[in-house]
């Protein structure tokens, strides 16, 4: 791709981004329009500022005495100077008020839309995309957009209005002097185009680097224990420094590009001012213009380059904001994952009969994870799903609450396709206890009530007692009001798991999915968790995923998966006595038991 092609692509991307954000801008058109009117008035006042000096030079100083009408004129001019300052400040304040109100409201709405959109995105997206990068887009990138809208765009508009008005006044005063300014315009335009493209590209690189830096920080904080255990602090520092240095260099490159242009404008402005002054003095001496007109001219020329410099400076900021805007739009354009289908209805409380009919699923095309699964999970019974790592066990159960939709086939509950129900009502039928219990940085009571937010304290305590969690909760400093550390790191693995079970109990859903609930627990903790699970599983349809075959002996039905297919089904006694994968798995864990069975 050539440089011109890249530039054209960026232009198209920038325009597409603006069109994509139009829905957020249009509701604030009144505030933006009023701000434009106020900025126009502010620019007009700026144009009037040199005129009191012109009147003083051309009228008052030519009078013989400061009395009578001359004195009255001087007083009027003085009052005009004060009035201009007052009204300029008032218009600037009101314009800033309107723009900030619109800009900050827009940012609130955009962040809310992004947050809602992220929740609707597929789990594949979240599994592949860096959390730190997504956080940067929602926070830092949106904030850059706000600054561009409320500060830089306002300054650009005000300066452009001033420049246009000033150009018209200069030509009206003396078109010959104005030609000097006009001659420098092509140079300025070429420089603006050149430097603007450079600033935008380098800002795009800077935002990518900042996203990568945020990802490194997020990953490091999330794995701090692992880093310390394996003595990888120095490697973590090197990664952080490398990304931080890259972010620093890209940001410095973007800033210095703008500063070089600013320096060029200053030099060119002084050259034009010198030429205007030299040529203007000749015009005054010839009587073509007055001294006051020359003062207005020189004042305007200096203001011209000051305003142009300000406009370019803020244009560079807007160019830098274009990269974050593109990143925001890119996130908004990511296709959403599983959603309610048209006509979806509220699910009634399920009995718990689950059926998989010819179900296949693939995270990536041509790489199926599940193949033609046909399975019936009886209502009110315990069904165990076993198999080697990567056989598709967790993926299969993820189709029940529609965390994913099958590539083909159907999942039914009580004979109805789960896609015909709203997601909210479907997921209300299901409780899940994961291998790694996810706890929030909130009180114990709030963590348990996360399963059902309207649960009373009595229900929370009853669920905790059923989950064998009440005793250790009561022993905490503030009992159920004790705030847990992030992800529950202040608790043991068994304690975290029992709180997660209490959360599932208080939810009282008819279907329960247990994904490796005993992994990583010692014998004592596992025994307490098993007792808690017994309370949870009462009168429920339960699906347990596990590698620990000792926990599935009591299952009413056992399903063995391999390579995304069901290779065996039955009860424990049937499967362990027959040749097949279940016997192999069981023998690998309990070889001494298998010896006695074979005898």
Q: Looking at 235-381, which runs of residues are DSSP E strands? A: 354-364, 367-377
Q: What is the mean pLDDT of residues 268-273?
A: 75
| pLDDT value, residue 237 | 82
Contacts of 82 (CB under 8 A, 6+ apart): none
For the chain, give the percent of residues with pLDDT over 70.
86
Could you read off the pLDDT of 502-549 as tens digits, one per residue?
888 888 889 988 887 766 555 666 676 677 777 777 788 888 888 777
pLDDT at 300 over 90: no
Please list the residues that pair with 186 across neighbouring strands: none
Closest residue by Cα to residue 402 from 378, 380, 428, 382: 428
266 is written with which tokens? Answer: 């200053």
pLDDT at 5 over 70: no
Could you read off the pLDDT of 231-267 as tens digits, one per residue?
677 888 888 888 888 777 777 776 777 677 777 777 7
Q: What is the mean pLDDT of residues 195-223?
A: 72
pLDDT at 271 over 70: yes
Contacts of 306 (CB under 8 A, 6+ apart): 269
Give a three-class secondary structure readout of 93-108. HHHHHHHHHHHHHHHH
| pLDDT value, residue 163 | 79
| pLDDT value, residue 145 | 80
Give yes or no for a contact between 214 and 136, defined as CB atoms under 8 angstroms apart: yes
Q: What is the mean pLDDT of residues 466-475?
A: 86
Residues in the chain: 599
Closest residue by Cα to residue 369 from 388, 396, 387, 409: 396
Query: Can you name the CATH fold of 3-332?
Result: ABC transporter transmembrane region fold (1.20.1560)
Could you read off the pLDDT of 103-160 as tens digits, one per residue?
888 888 888 888 888 888 877 777 777 777 788 788 878 888 887 777 777 777 877 8
Q: What is the mean pLDDT of residues 409-430?
A: 90
Q: Return the higher-pLDDT residue of 593 and 182.
A: 182
Please list the residues that pair with 370 across neighbouring strands: 361
Could you read off the pLDDT of 45-69 as tens digits, one per residue?
888 888 888 777 777 777 777 777 7
Q: Return the higher-pLDDT residue of 186 and 510.
A: 510
Q: Return the higher-pLDDT residue of 518 and 573.
A: 573
Q: Cα(201)–Cα(257) distance, rounded to whole angstroms?
A: 11
Q: Cα(208)–Cα(118) distance, rounded to whole angstroms?
A: 19
Q: Return the higher-pLDDT residue of 259 and 34.
A: 34
Q: What is the mean pLDDT of residues 372-400?
A: 88
Q: What is the mean pLDDT of residues 218-238?
A: 71
Helix axes of 457-466 and 523-536: crossing angle, nearest 10 degrees: 130
Q: What is the mean pLDDT of residues 155-167?
A: 80
Q: Provide the greatest CA pair distance for the chain.
A: 133
* Sign of the CA dihedral with 483 first, then 489, 490, and 491 last: positive
pLDDT at 411 over 90: yes
| pLDDT value, residue 8 | 38
Q: What is the mean pLDDT of residues 398-407?
A: 88
Please report, for residues 21, 24, 69, the alpha-carbon distance to residue 29 in angstroms, rounded to integers and kept in the order given.
13, 10, 48
Q: What is the mean pLDDT of residues 325-347?
A: 82
| pLDDT value, residue 412 | 93
| pLDDT value, residue 531 | 73
> How many other C-beta atoms are found inside a 10 Å radius of the C-beta of residue 108?
12
pLDDT at 11 over 60: no
219 is written with which tokens? Answer: 């990953």
pLDDT at 4 over 50: no
| Residue 386, phi then psi, degrees to nearest 5 | -125, 165
| pLDDT value, residue 3 | 38
* Sign of the CA dihedral with 582 first, then 588, 592, and 598 last: positive
Q: Cα(555)–Cα(511) distance, rounded to whole angstroms?
A: 15
Strands 382-387 and 367-377, sheet pairing: unpaired
| pLDDT value, residue 19 | 76
Average pLDDT, the chain: 79
What is the pTM for the complete model shown?
0.64
| pLDDT value, residue 111 | 87
Give yes or no for a contact between 321 and 152, defined as CB atoms under 8 angstroms apart: yes
The C-alpha angle 258, 260, 262, rounded to 5 degrees, equals 70
Strands 367-377 and 354-364, sheet pairing: antiparallel
89 is written with which tokens? Answer: 């400040």
The pLDDT-based confidence of 205 (bands split at 50, 70, 90) is confident
pLDDT at 12 over 50: no
For the chain, give the percent of residues with pLDDT over 90.
5
Contacts of 140 (CB under 8 A, 6+ apart): 210, 214, 324
Domains in the chain: boundaries: 3-332
- Token look-up 């904001």 returns 321
pLDDT at 31 over 80: yes
Q: Cα(113)–Cα(227) distance, rounded to whole angstroms?
A: 36
| pLDDT value, residue 497 | 82
| pLDDT value, residue 356 | 93
Please list the residues that pair with 570 across neighbouring strands: 558
The pLDDT-based confidence of 585 (bands split at 50, 70, 90) is confident
Helix (H, G, I), strand (E, B) or coil at 50: coil
Q: What is the mean pLDDT of residues 15-33?
A: 79
Return the H-helix or E-strand segment holding 223. Answer: none
pLDDT at 436 over 80: no
pLDDT at 388 over 80: yes
Q: What is the mean pLDDT of residues 398-417?
A: 90
Please report, for residues 185, 279, 286, 361, 402, the alpha-carbon distance to residue 179 in angstroms, rounded to integers and kept in the order given.
10, 11, 18, 72, 70
Q: Cα(549)–Cα(534) distance, rounded to whole angstroms?
A: 17
User: DSSP code of 481?
Assistant: G
| pLDDT value, residue 307 | 76
Q: Return the higher-pLDDT residue of 202 and 447.
A: 447
pLDDT at 451 over 80: no
> How many other C-beta atoms are found inside a 10 Å radius of the C-beta of residue 456?
11
| pLDDT value, residue 410 | 92
Q: Cα(261)–Cα(339) distance, rounded to whole angstroms?
A: 50
| pLDDT value, residue 9 | 37
Closest residue by Cα to residue 419 from 320, 321, 341, 510: 341
Tell me whether residue 112 is exposed, middle or buried, using C-beta atoms within 10 angstroms of its C-beta: 0 to 12, 13 to 18, 19 or more: exposed
């Amino acid at each position: 791709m050539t440089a011109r092609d890249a530039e054209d692509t960026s232009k198209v991307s920038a325009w597409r981004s603006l069109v994509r954000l139009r829905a957020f801008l249009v509701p604030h058109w009144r505030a933006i329009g009023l701000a434009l009117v106020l900025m126009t008035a502010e620019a007009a006042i700026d144009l009037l500022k040199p005129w009191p000096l012109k009147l003083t030079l051309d009228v008052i100083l030519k009078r013989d005495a400061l009395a009578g009408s001359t004195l009255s004129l001087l007083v009027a001019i003085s009052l005009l100077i004060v009035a201009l300052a007052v009204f300029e400040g008032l218009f600037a304040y009101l314009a800033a008020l309107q723009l900030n109100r619109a800009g900050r409201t827009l940012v609130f709405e955009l962040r809310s839309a992004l947050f809602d959109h992220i929740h609707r995105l597929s789990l594949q997206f979240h599994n592949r995309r860096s959390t730190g990068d997504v956080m940067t887009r929602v926070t830092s990138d949106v904030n850059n957009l706000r600054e561009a809208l409320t500060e830089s765009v306002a300054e650009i508009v005000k300066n452009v209005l001033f420049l246009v008005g000033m150009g018209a006044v200069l030509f009206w005063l003396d078109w010959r002097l104005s030609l000097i300014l006009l001659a420098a315009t092509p140079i300025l335009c070429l420089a603006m185009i050149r430097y603007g493209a450079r600033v935008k590209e380098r800002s795009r690189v800077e935002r990518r680097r900042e996203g990568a830096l945020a990802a490194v920080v997020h990953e490091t904080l999330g794995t701090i224990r692992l880093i310390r255990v394996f003595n990888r602090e120095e490697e973590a520092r090197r990664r952080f420094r490398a990304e931080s240095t890259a972010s620093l260099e890209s940001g410095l490159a973007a800033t210095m590009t703008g500063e070089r242009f600013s320096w060029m404008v200053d030099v060119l402005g002084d050259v034009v001012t010198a030429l205007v002054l030299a040529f203007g003095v000749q015009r005054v001496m010839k009587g073509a213009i007055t001294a006051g007109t020359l003062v207005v001219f020189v004042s305007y020329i200096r203001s011209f380059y000051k305003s142009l410099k300000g406009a370019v400076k803020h244009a560079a900021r807007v160019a830098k904001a274009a990269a974050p805007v593109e990143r925001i739009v890119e996130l908004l354009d990511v296709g959403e994952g599983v959603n309610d289908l048209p006509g979806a209805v509220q699910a009634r409380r399920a009995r718990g009969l689950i059926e998989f009919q010819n179900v296949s699923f693939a995270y990536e095309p041509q790489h199926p994870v599940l193949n033609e699964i046909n399975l019936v999970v009886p209502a009110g019974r315990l069904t165990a799903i076993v198999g080697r790592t990567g056989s598709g066990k967790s993926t299969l159960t993820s189709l029940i609450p529609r965390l994913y939709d099958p590539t083909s086939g159907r999942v039914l509950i009580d004979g109805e396709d789960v896609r015909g129900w709203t997601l909210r009502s479907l997921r209300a039928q299901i409780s899940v206890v994961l291998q790694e219990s996810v706890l929030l940085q909130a009180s114990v009571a709030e963590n348990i009530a996360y399963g059902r937010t309207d649960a009373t304290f009595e229900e929370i305590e009853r669920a905790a007692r059923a989950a064998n969690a009440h005793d250790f909760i009561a022993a905490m400093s503030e009992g159920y009001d004790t705030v847990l550390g992030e992800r529950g790191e202040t608790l043991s693995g068994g304690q975290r798991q029992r709180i997660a079970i209490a959360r599932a109990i208080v939810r009282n859903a008819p279907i329960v999915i247990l994904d490796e609930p005993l992994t990583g627990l010692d014998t004592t903790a596992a025994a307490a968790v098993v007792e808690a699970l017994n309370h949870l599983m009462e009168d429920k349809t339960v699906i347990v995923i596990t590698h620990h075959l000792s926990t599935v002996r009591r299952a009413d039905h056992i399903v063995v998966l391999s390579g995304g297919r069901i290779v065996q089904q039955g009860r424990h006694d049937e499967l362990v006595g027959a040749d097949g994968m279940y016997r192999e798995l069981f023998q690998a864990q309990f070889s001494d038991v298998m010896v006695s069975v074979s005898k």
